[in-house]
A and B are shown apart, each in its own frame.
Chain A
């Protein structure tokens, strides 16, 4: 009996691919030291334009004067918007001067938050979410579509014509409408490879497609139609005692 057992072919274990941990370590996309380049060095001047300066002063006025530096994040964002979507060293230096804080304190903030781009980006900034809910709903298909649409670039790259930059981002908080991507400041949700292409083509033409779900449903309502609260909501006075009607 024992022999019979032994003669049975021992089932082989499937070849183990990940015996030891071998996920490639992901580094953030940019270096955390500044290098002077022709397009990014402290000699390039930067200043807020009149509108933004007014806005900046408004933002600064929200904080007590000795805590002026608390305005660093909104001001960096303002600077990034004025500077074609990226925060150059000149932007950081200018904001340090404006807020009377050591430049290093601004660099610390700008390098900590990933939404400050410290390298130039294209005209349209495409951020594809690949966090779990989106991933389960096909975010990688969307990402591949985007990359292939731009001629096989990789996340983090800019197209040759400088019109689009694609990056992969973590959760943007639109999980109920997964998968989604962000183009500039707008969310495009409920994407499929087809609708993704459509959105991108529109942007390439200089148009701005309607943000929100691309599947036709309204916000994050049930796509199969409502299952609850289907009746007409009753108005004031209905079902009340006669004296209150």
Chain B
């Protein structure tokens, strides 16, 4: 079923000996490189219109290019071609039968008709066959209103039935794919989009088709759940209602929803999303295609953690009285903060601000300005070691950004992962590595904790020593890396937090400098830092880092902005703590005053992803209760703290951002660091970390539970179900039931 395109170079024997992650990836199955060489354009005629497409395009693409809409179920741009639904039939000159346009290459000079009686009759026939086994349950089907089959049957469906089977329609038992994907397999039309997605993109090679003919069904054969962080995408791919969203089941109809284009904040990829809301609540989150970022996929946390926006919310300002919080008005709360600030006697660097994972750029700029106005430089990031300035400093952007860019990953022919498991830190990016690994001769090496990455890799070690070995060129992989045309080093964000971080950065910076002819060229920058937190790149961009003196000062006044990962021990007992954020998570527990902010779906703010791409999120729903947009809270507080900020609306705040860095407000574009600056940055980095010592502690994965990494996903019931089903390996309720009832079989 999977297509293997042209063969150019056999996988070497070394691939077979590579380290395989235990469960799902099989190195032996990787076959030939199949990047199709870019060839010339060809011209053909579709419905009398001349159209020019690249050679090797499918006929369906040529028809699309000519503006003809071709109905389809199995064909999908980003998946291999199956050609099994037969809905895309078109008429081609001198072809005795209608031709499936998805499986037919466009030929130069051919004449194609997409709108003739023959084509219509053929499609009507196909539709009748598809509907003959499809249940008539549209009124109770969640796909209703956005169903390809429903839409296309409006045009190609018959208005009366010829179906007289007493035995009834085909019945297929439902599969249990876990807590995210609901199945109703009677509705399945066997387009196998989900199977192709799981095998090609997600790397879950457990989904397939069993049986044959009328009995063909989609499933796992054995009882298993679909354990993938990208599994939710099969819901979008399913052209019928066979795979629908379990958390969203029967909650809303598509025509009731308001669509808001926004940006995801669950990781630092900045996936483009569409937030579907009804009234005051977010009903679901769906991906928005953007080839430069997330293609068409989003991970399950992005898609399903939205129910966390409904629970554990801070809706009114809270002031701690004794051992409990009492709700208060904004005036009282802000006064309480101002009084607490004065009572704490914090001076200069004793005033600390902590920016958390979900802090938006605007509020970080406002908070930094406020803290600086108050005379402090104590700007801390909410991560391990965040109280000190980061190893890579923040003076040169290329030191902390994913310079190769996300689409650039596909060009790399050799990737070294250092202390990172992209599958959990940037799942969508990981699918690109997998894509490249499947279709090209990409080699991957990993230094750090072993992980199931969905592609084979060479394991090089777990600690800074392995990095030193690599840099010294001792391993085979290091030699391959040296010979690669576009090598790429992906440094995980956990390295910055690791005690050996400086040593690793030092070694890598020197290595990149030494091999700059391959690694840093005007076309390619192969040194990439993979951030895992939505706010981090922006925090570095605005310079949200402490001075050396400030980082050693014991704070007396602490302002936690969305900071929920702080170590409670790091907060002095006598300090006055303010928490600003949207969830009553860890940060709120530590606070003396809580100021309720807005979550990412409730404010139109700027987010900078790991590549340094500024993107605008948009408010889909209003913030609940008395909560306010974050920068406004800081602006209001600045009045009471006696250091009023000079901006009154978000536009003047963005002007201020422009002053800090124009990249923050140049939306949706990337600004590459020039070769000279990038090399200068690496030189400074190497010089600053020259005296670093190696402790030899192994790198550990920063994310042990993919499904719960931030206050929103921790508050989400769906994510808790996922944790139970996938992370802890507990049996999710329904599997148990079905295995019991079927035990009597055979």
Contacts and interface: CB of A to CB of B under 8 A. Distances in A.
B745 A35 contact: yes
A27 B29 contact: no
B325 interface: no
A107 B215 contact: no
A16 interface: no
A27 B210 contact: no
Interface string B200-230: 0000011111111111110111110000000
A32 B28 contact: no
Contact of A107 (B210, B743, B746): B210
Interface in B510-556: none
Interface residue tally on B, bucketed by range: 35 or more
B27 A100 contact: yes
Contacts of B746: 35, 37, 40, 119
Interface string B1-38: 00000000011010110000000101111111000000
A227 interface: no
A69 to B, nearest CB: 7
Given A25-B167, A27-B215, A31-B745, A100 B221 contact: no
B17 to A, nearest CB: 11
Contacts of A22: 166
Contacts of A28: 211-213, 215
B221 A111 contact: yes
A105 B167 contact: no
A107 B31 contact: no
A210 B404 CA distance: 72
A99 interface: yes
A114 B165 CA distance: 25
Interface in B377-410: none
A67 B220 CA distance: 23
* Most-contacted residue by chain B among A33, A35, A67, A100 (CB, 10 A): A33
Contact of B221 (A66, A67, A101, A107): A107
A20 interface: yes
Interface in B134-166: 164-166
B649 interface: no
Nearest to B29: A101
Given A33-B173, A66-B31, A100-B28, A112 B212 contact: yes
B256 interface: no
A105 B27 CA distance: 14
Interface string A124-161: 00000000000000000000000000000000000000
B39 interface: no
A42 B222 contact: yes
Interface in A88-120: 89, 99-105, 107-108, 111-112, 114, 119
Contacts of A111: 210-212, 221
B198 to A, nearest CB: 9
Contacts of A103: 206, 222
A31 B744 CA distance: 13
A104 B207 contact: yes
A111 B216 CA distance: 9
Interface residue tally on A, bucketed by range: 35 or more
Contacts of B570: none
Given A33-B173, A89-B222, A104 B167 contact: no
A208 interface: no
Contacts of A119: 746
Contact of A112 (B13, B207, B211, B222): B211
* Most-contacted residue by chain B among A40, A42, A66, A101 (CB, 10 A): A66
B739 interface: yes
A89 B29 CA distance: 21
A245 interface: no
B574 interface: no
A22 B168 CA distance: 10
B208 A105 contact: yes
B742 interface: yes
A104 to B, nearest CB: 4
B28 A108 contact: no
A101 B28 contact: yes
Contacts of B207: 104
A108 B29 contact: no
Interface string A57-101: 000000011111100000000000000000001000000000111
A25 B164 CA distance: 12
A99 B221 contact: no
Contacts of B205: 102, 104-105
Contacts of B166: 20, 22
A20 B164 contact: yes
B211 A32 contact: yes
A34 interface: yes
Interface in A14-38: 20-22, 24-25, 27-28, 31-37
A132 B173 CA distance: 33
A66 B9 CA distance: 12
Contact of B28 (A20, A37, A66): A66
B26 A34 contact: no
Contacts of A42: 222
Contacts of A102: 24, 26, 29, 205-206
A67 B16 CA distance: 12
A104 B28 contact: no
A101 to B, nearest CB: 6
Contacts of A36: 223, 739, 743
* Most-contacted residue by chain A among B208, B219, B742 (CB, 10 A): B208
A153 to B, nearest CB: 16
Nearest to B212: A112
A42 B220 CA distance: 14
B31 A67 contact: yes
Nearest to B164: A20
Nearest to B171: A27
Given A42-B222, A111-B210, A111-B212, A35 B739 contact: yes
A24 B167 contact: yes
A39 B741 CA distance: 17
A112 B164 CA distance: 28
B745 A104 contact: no
A66 B10 contact: yes
Contacts of B10: 64, 66
A111 B26 CA distance: 22
A65 B215 contact: no
A32 B215 contact: yes
List the 6 closest A-B pairs by CB distance, nearest first.
A100-B28, A102-B205, A32-B211, A107-B221, A111-B210, A104-B208
Given A68-B28, A103-B222, 14 more contacts: A28-B212, A32-B210, A32-B216, A34-B222, A35-B746, A37-B743, A89-B222, A100-B16, A100-B29, A104-B206, A104-B207, A107-B208, A111-B212, A112-B212
Interface of B: 10-11, 13, 15-16, 24, 26-32, 164-167, 173, 175, 205-217, 219-223, 739, 742-743, 745-746
Interface of A: 20-22, 24-25, 27-28, 31-37, 40, 42, 64-69, 89, 99-105, 107-108, 111-112, 114, 119
8 contacts: A33-B173, A33-B210, A35-B746, A64-B10, A66-B30, A102-B206, A103-B206, A108-B209
